[in-house]
Structure formats: C-alpha cells, structure tokens
C-alpha cells in the first residue's frame, strides 16, 4: 500500500506533493493506493469541484450578485468547522479522524467556493455580469450536496484501482483549477485586464497559467529539498 508508480499516477502524486504533507495516517487509500492529498484537502477540492459543476450546470458563472444569507451562513459555518477541526487537532486539544477531516474539508471547500465564484464572476466579467441575479441561493444546496455525495462515494468504499484514478483525477483537477483561479484573480487585479474586453481574456489566462506552473514548481521544490508544505 502506498503511492502509485505509473506515469499518470506519479504526475497526480507530484502535483499533490507541492501543496500537501501527504502523511499516510491522514490520507485515504483506494484500491491500496494512497490519495495524492490528505483527507482534509480531498474534502476541500471535492467540495470545490461540486460547486464548479453546479456553476456550469446552473449557468451561474456570469451572475454577479452575492449569494443569499443562507449560503453566506453555510460558508461561515464551514470555515469555522474547518478551522476548529484543524487547529484543535494540530495543537493537541483533541483527536480527529480522516472521516471528520473529510467532512470539515467538504464544508469549507463547498461553502467558500460558492462565495468565490460570485466574486470571480464580478471581477472578470465586469459590466457583462448580471448583477440582479445571485450566483447561489438556498435552493441550490440540495444539488451541491448531491454532487458532493456522488463525488465522495469512492472514498468511503474500497472501490478499486479505477476509482482511485477517477477520484484522484477529480481532486487534482480541482486543485489545479483552484490555484489557476487564484492566479487569474491576482493577474486581473494587478494588470487591469478584464474579460469585459475579449483582448484581455487570453493574456490573463496565459499569464495565470505561467504563474501557476512556477508556484507549483517552487512549492514542490520547497517540500522536496526543505520539507516545507503549506498544509
């Protein structure tokens, strides 16, 4: 039991290695292979992916109005639960489990992502954004939680190698997109480029991709040579 040794699996593992401690005792195993990030990070990225799918399915990516109070409350509770579980266990006040780490990650990743996509839409699309429509309301929560449940199934049962690669791909794709989105926000804020004008779209995306690659390489190197990780 351990990390994968094939080319694709090693790629997924090394992307996770840039941002995660990858401690076996804090990680899920599927088909005898260790997930490329820890249980809490898996929850965060699965939650993010569930919200991303909901944004696309519901066509909310150009809705600029903030989510309603229920969604904001859900996000705040998710953040509080995540912080409590992480810090209380790290400081030795209580013990936790991978299932609890997963749930806290899901609560944090999904809640914060529902706020993030609203802010991103407003920033990137400017005047194109429909400010009268909310990105998320309480009515969208059943869909988000259904997607979370479906994406989490392989983690809760020993579902074999195929589902290991499926779940790992979902998690790492979510990680990459999340980092890309953060870099894109940074680029747009620093340069003033906007998706409102098409000529600003491609330079923004290209620059964000380059920055993401550079940051992942730096973080991977820091972990490998200096045993430094963010989480």
List per-residue pLDDT tens for the chain, 231 residues long. Answer: 678 889 999 999 999 999 999 999 999 999 889 999 999 999 999 999 999 999 999 888 777 788 899 999 999 999 999 999 999 988 888 889 999 999 999 999 999 999 988 888 877 776 666 767 888 999 999 999 999 999 998 887 767 899 999 999 999 999 999 999 999 888 888 887 767 665 678 888 899 999 999 999 999 999 888 766 655
> For residue 81, is it within any domain?
yes
> For residue 74, is it within any domain?
yes
> For residue 2, is it within any domain?
no
> For residue 65, is it within any domain?
yes
d(CA 20, CA 45): 12
215-to-143, 191, 221 alpha-carbon distances in Å: 33, 19, 10
Question: Do 215 and 179 touch, CB atoms closer than 8 A?
Answer: yes
d(CA 167, CA 148): 12
Strand partners, 2: 33
d(CA 178, CA 84): 23
> For residue 184, is it within any domain?
yes
Domains identified in the chain, total number:
1
Domain of residue 202: give its range.
7-226
> For residue 1, is it within any domain?
no
Tally of residues, the chain:
231
What is the residue whose two structure tokens read 């990780």?
229
Q: Model pTM greater than 0.95? A: no
> For residue 99, is it within any domain?
yes
């Amino acid at each position: 039991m351990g990390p994968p040794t094939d080319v694709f699996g090693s790629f997924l593992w090394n992307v996770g290695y840039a941002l995660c401690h990858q401690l076996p005792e804090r990680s899920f195993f599927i088909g005898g292979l260790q997930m490329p990030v820890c249980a809490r990070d898996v929850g965060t990225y699965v939650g993010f992916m569930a919200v991303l799918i909901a944004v696309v399915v519901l066509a909310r990516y150009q809705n600029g109005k903030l989510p309603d109070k229920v969604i904001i409350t859900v996000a705040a509770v998710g953040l509080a639960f995540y912080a409590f579980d992480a810090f209380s266990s790290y400081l030795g006040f209580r013990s936790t489990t991978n299932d609890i780490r997963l749930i806290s990650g899901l609560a944090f990743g999904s809640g914060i992502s529902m706020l993030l996509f609203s802010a991103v839409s407003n920033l990137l699309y400017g005047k194109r954004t429909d400010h009268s429509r909310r990105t998320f309301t309480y009515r969208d929560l059943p869909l988000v939680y259904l997607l979370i449940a479906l994406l989490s199934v392989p983690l809760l049962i020993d579902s074999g190698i195929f589902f290991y690669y499926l779940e790992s791909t979902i998690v790492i794709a979510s990680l990459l997109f999340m980092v890309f989105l953060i870099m894109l926000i940074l680029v747009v804020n620093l340069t003033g480029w906007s998706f409102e004008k098409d000529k600003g779209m491609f330079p923004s995306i290209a620059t964000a991709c380059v920055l993401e690659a550079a940051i992942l390489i730096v973080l991977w190197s820091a972990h490998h040579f200096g045993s430094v990780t963010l989480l």
